[in-house]
Amino acid sequence: YGPSIEGASVNKLGEAFATDFANSTTKIGQISPEQKLYSASPIVTTNFNGIRFLRLSKKEIDMGIKNIALVANKDGDVTKVTEMNDGTTKQEIFCKDDTFVIPNDLALSETGRIYISGQNFTENTVIGDGGLWICQPDGRATQLMKFGRTNGIELSPDEKTLYLSEAFNIGFTPVSNKIWKFKVDHRTGMVSSQELFVDFAILDGTQSVDVDGMRTDIEGNLYVTRNGGQEVVVFSPNKVVLSRIKLNIKSAANLELAGDQGKTMFIVGKCLDDETKGCVDKFENNIPGKAFTLLN
């Protein structure tokens, strides 16, 4: 993988995937159980980032579809990648909106809705350099709120809570990193009651270390990669730090719980000994992830 490795994700079988395969942001690769090309975009400006696999309907299975993934494309859309049982894949735009700000990562609801983060990494961050969007199952996109840079995004297992990270730069250096939580209306998908979940300046003085990928397990614990901090921080739903998982990679970009039981955590980021390459750390967890469990 290349140094822009991102989008750690899992399908129903527990296979793990990431972007920047073969040092190309146009390519998605399988990490486990074997490393190989999964799908490549024919558009040279494609810059794949966050990935989420969908739960298939009986109709889709009967049509010979093996997997459907939605992928945040920094080029300005969310791309739908459909894999057939014969191994061929097809790519098409799932949703796109003029208000999108460099789509970054995705949170998937059991309803088929997706929530989207985005960030424009500027010298001095202003409100509007990021935001929160929702795409309905039919591809209709709506901007819900404007923020500074938004990156990590995830739903709680009961889907009553949405987590979203926000960061601000001054002189290209991050000076603020927070995670917000929102109440989710399961009927409409709309969010409300914004509340501070963690401010890293107050927690441990690491506000200059970006929050990147976020995932939850089935007990509602939130796993957060710190891009540059060489760790994954695990929070309980009531904001308590449960653990800090030290890593062998330099810049942890994203993570996912995969494997045949959904308990194997794959953390992706730049390699510690060679920043021109992407590496993957593996950690055995004791609780399965939300995404794997939802798909099954």
% of the chain residues with pLDDT over 70: 100
From the CB of residue 39, how many other CB atoms can be counted at a distance below 10 Å? 23
pLDDT in tens, 158-217: 999 999 999 999 999 999 999 999 999 999 999 999 999 999 999 999 999 999 999 999
What's residue 150's pLDDT?
Answer: 98
The model's pTM is: 0.97
Alpha-carbon separation of residue 131 from 103, 174, 237 (angstroms): 9, 17, 23
Residue 229 has pLDDT above 90, yes or no: no
Inter-residue contact 206 to 241 (CB < 8 Å) = no
What's residue 51's pLDDT?
Answer: 98
Torsion-angle region of 38 (φ positive above 0: left; ψ -120 to 50: alpha; else: beta): alpha
What's residue 222's pLDDT?
Answer: 98
What's residue 228's pLDDT?
Answer: 84
% of the chain residues with pLDDT over 90: 99
We find that the CATH architecture of domain 7-214 is: 6 Propeller (2.120)
> What average pLDDT does the chain have?
97
Separation CA 234–CA 215 (nearest Å): 10
Please report, for the chain, the start and end positions of each structural domain, with discontinuous segments joined by +.
7-214
